[in-house]
Amino acid sequence: MGVVTDVRPVKGRTIFIPYTATDSQITSGQSMLSKQFQCNELGSGRCMHPAVAASASLAGPLEYSFWVNGNVFGIVYEIYTGTAPPSVMVDGIAYEVPIFPKSDPFGRNGTILKPRLSGAVLDDSLGDGPHYVEIMFPVSTTEARAWNIYGWLVDENAGYRQPTLGLTMGITAKTVGNAVYTNITNDTTSVAGTGAIGIRKVLVRNPTAGALTLTLSNSSTSAGDFLVVSIAAGDTYVFDPGGLLMLANSLYAKGSAAGLVAAVIEGW
Amino acid sequence: MTATIAAIGDSYTYNGTLGTRADQFYPYLLAKLLRARGYNLRARNFGRSGDSTPMVLSRATSVFNWETPDMVVVMCGINDTNGGHFSTVQVSPAPTSTTCSVAAGVGASMPVGSHITINGIKVVVTGQNVDALTFAPPYAGIASGQNVLPDTYANLVDIVRTYDNKSRPIIVGSPYLNFSAGGDTTSSETGQSAAIRAIQKQVATDEGIPYVDLYAYCKARILAGTDAQGSFTYHVLDNNSHPSPYGSQVWAQAIFDAVTALDWY
């Protein structure tokens, strides 16, 4: 009696790995920034934000390459500016990356503003790997383009683990202004958070010799003040909303005197 | 099981810097046409921008790194006459009958195993250290100032022979340059393109493999009124030979027409 052996790689669950790093472009001329606090329905708190300017000579594209294991590869992204999807090849095989339209196919409701749940599995039978992924962000002669890349869809059986609640990423601590509203949700290494942002916690330290009052606001004026608290000398105050605090724009902080240092924790 | 076709060449096969996506280059589009005909296959792109025929030859076997492709489309040669891929014999260090130096940076485009000519004499590179070349057979008449050029014919022959008896190679000729001025016309080819096409066609004839005449294909479209002469719609920019998505579509169709006429698919 013969024995039948199935040698095909066993594919696991398709899971989402959020983008978390600040990476530089591998072609010169354009900016590859990390846009923090850029929440989406999959819970990614940060996204890669490649941006290319329109160029009559088609100069300055961006390319980004890496290796991935497992049977599955997909991309979770949205078109931020312009009309073109990114270009993706895996092991030299090109894939058509779908564009998730921002229009209503039934003509009932008009324009969809932010389709953030835009995940596309490009291939689910790649084999064990490793596989070489090449992503290119193409330049146009007529339009500026930018994308938000929220993360990747990969094969759990390759050893990847979808982050659970509690993944946090902090930004550089910022000195809070004396009686001046300071935007504490932008970072010189990243694109300033714009649009809806998600904040997991805010840590504020008082390194001075006396108590200071902290004010948190969702605007740069007192009209947005939502929290006022005194922080004793040498203490650290932790503002923990118990989940994601969603704000339309940036988070601001103000101190009753100079010296407070705030760090905002993003995540899900 | 999905079969694969391979496409190897220069920036006509893949170029990540001029606004055309990977799924808009001819290999992907050719595979798409063949899938529409019922064949379960996809294309693996081995194009590399800037490659001359010696550089393509040096990596010709890479098409077998994943599988043995059913067909290999070879499209290269135009960069052999572009700056950076040829030189003159340098004065220092003094050349010998088996060694010479080329201009800074050119050595990398003449890797070991590639065919070159020195003063028209055919030799093979047997050693390469930056811009210092060792070659065989010896050439006693070498002197500084003589031209060192890729031997396009010999390199193309070796490239296609890499695929004989394993895959089905097919050579695609250099494309019709449909510029507003200074390119090909339906009655004349640019000198550079005509020279390369003649070599590509000769290799195909001598090796007994098919040749896709892109110049003739596009010329026929223009004469038929399908495309306009000088419209540069085949290209990403006027006077830039790299294919636009439309140009790649035309090339893919030309190759598709050729392989289906051959009854390969």
Predicted pLDDT of residue B7: 98
Q: Do the Cβ atoms of A84 and B25 come within 8 Å? A: no
Predicted pLDDT of residue A188: 46
Report yes or no for ipTM above 0.90.
yes
pLDDT tens for each residue of B8-47: 999 999 998 899 999 999 999 999 999 999 999 999 999 9
Q: Does A120 touch chain B (CB under 8 A)?
A: no
Q: Which helix (DSSP H) or strand (DSSP E) does residue B203 occupy?
A: helix B191-207
C-alpha A174/C-alpha A170 separation (Å) is 11
Q: Do the Cβ atoms of A136 and B237 come within 8 Å? A: no
Which region, left, alpha or beta, applies to residue B194 given φ > 0 means left and ψ of -120 to 50 means alpha? alpha
Q: Do the Cβ atoms of A94 and B66 come within 8 Å? A: no
The label of the residue with tokens 């941006």 reads A51
C-alpha B142/C-alpha B184 separation (Å) is 37
Q: Does B232 touch chain A (CB under 8 A)?
A: no
Taking the CA atoms of A175, A179, A180 and A185 in sequence, report the sign of the dihedral they define: positive
Q: Kindly state the DSSP code that residue B64 receives in the 8-state scheme.
A: G
Q: What is the pLDDT along chain A (268 residues), one digit of tens a residue?
A: 567 666 666 788 898 887 766 554 444 445 556 555 555 555 556 678 888 889 999 988 888 889 999 999 999 888 888 989 999 999 999 999 998 776 777 888 766 665 555 788 999 999 988 999 999 999 999 999 988 888 899 999 998 887 665 444 555 567 787 888 888 876 544 454 455 566 778 899 999 999 999 999 988 888 989 999 999 999 999 998 877 677 766 888 999 998 999 988 765 5
C-alpha A61/C-alpha A24 separation (Å) is 13
Taking the CA atoms of B10, B12, B15 and B18 in sequence, report the sign of the dihedral they define: positive
The label of the residue with tokens 């354009």 reads A30
Predicted pLDDT of residue A189: 45
Residues of chain B below pLDDT 50: none
Name the residue of chain B whose CA is nearest to A52's CA. Answer: B19
Helix (H, G, I), strand (E, B) or coil at B83: coil
Predicted pLDDT of residue A25: 46
Q: Which two tokens stand for residue B9?
A: 């060449």
Predicted pLDDT of residue A42: 59
Taking the CA atoms of B193, B196, B199 and B200 in sequence, report the sign of the dihedral they define: negative
CA distance A71 to chain B (A): 15
Q: For residues B224-234, b (16+ Cβ closer than 10 Å) or e, as one string?
A: eeebebeebeb
Q: Does A99 touch chain B (CB under 8 A)?
A: no
CA distance A105 to chain B (A): 25
Q: Which two tokens stand for residue B79?
A: 């960069």
**Residues 6+ positions from B39 with CB-CB distance below 8 Å:** B3, B265
Q: Does A27 touch chain B (CB under 8 A)?
A: yes
Q: Give bridge partners of residue A15 from the DSSP assignment.
A: A154
Q: Which of B23, B28, B59, B63 to mutate to test the interface with A (most CBs of A within 10 A)?
A: B23
Predicted pLDDT of residue A29: 47
Q: Does A50 touch chain B (CB under 8 A)?
A: no
Q: Do the Cβ atoms of B21 and A63 come within 8 Å? A: no
Name the residue of chain B whose CA is nearest to A87's CA. Answer: B21
